[in-house]
Amino acid sequence: MATSRTDRDLARGRRAAAHVRIRGGSALATACARVGATFSPAIRYSIFKDRVATLIRRGAAHPEVRIRYGMFVERHRAPNLDAAIVLIDRMRCAELGARAEAVGNWGYCSRSRLSLMLLDEVRLILRILRRHAPGRFPQLTAEIRGRRSRDGSLDKRYR
């Protein structure tokens, strides 16, 4: 399934190849320009945003979302959306600092990349939530933490 971001990346590659072809470049130069422009550093962000958009579409009650963020939400409870954003930003900054220190001391970093990925995902989700639906933060965290009973209210065990 192609997204608009993927379409933009592919179009950027086609434009770069056409530009090289117009200037009289070889077939190899044209192919290199197309691949280089299509899979530029921007593709990393496109893939990241597509992954986060997929998780948002699935909703807080989806099993993958609950598994991915459930323990994180339990461990780091925030009273409101602004506090959650500040907490995530501080945790991300601390993780990046620890990585930089490890590389400076040892020449490599053995820390898990997953923690930084989760922090980046949560950071983007919280910023989207702040922009589009700030009032839903308590409901979403409650859905991630627990289940709803048959009448729609949260089950007392999972509050």
Name the residue ranges covered by the structural domains of the chain. 59-158
Q: What residue ranges of the chain have pLDDT lower than 50?
A: 1, 148-151, 154-159
Determine the Cα–Cα distance for residues 36 and 16; give it in Å rounded to an integer: 9
**What is the structure's pLDDT at 2?**
57
**pTM for this one?**
0.68
**What is the structure's pLDDT at 20?**
92
First-to-last C-alpha distance (Å) of the chain: 37
**What is the structure's pLDDT at 111?**
78
**What is the structure's pLDDT at 71?**
86
**What is the structure's pLDDT at 38?**
80
**What is the structure's pLDDT at 157?**
43
**What is the structure's pLDDT at 90?**
94
**Beta carbons of 109 and 102 less than 8 angstroms apart:** yes
Helix (H, G, I), strand (E, B) or coil at 147: coil
List of long-range contacts for 91-99, beta carbons under 8 Å, 24+ apart: 91/119, 92/116, 92/119, 92/120, 92/123, 95/119
Helix (H, G, I), strand (E, B) or coil at 154: strand
**What is the structure's pLDDT at 13?**
87
Phi then psi dihedrals of residue 43, to 5 deg: -65, -35
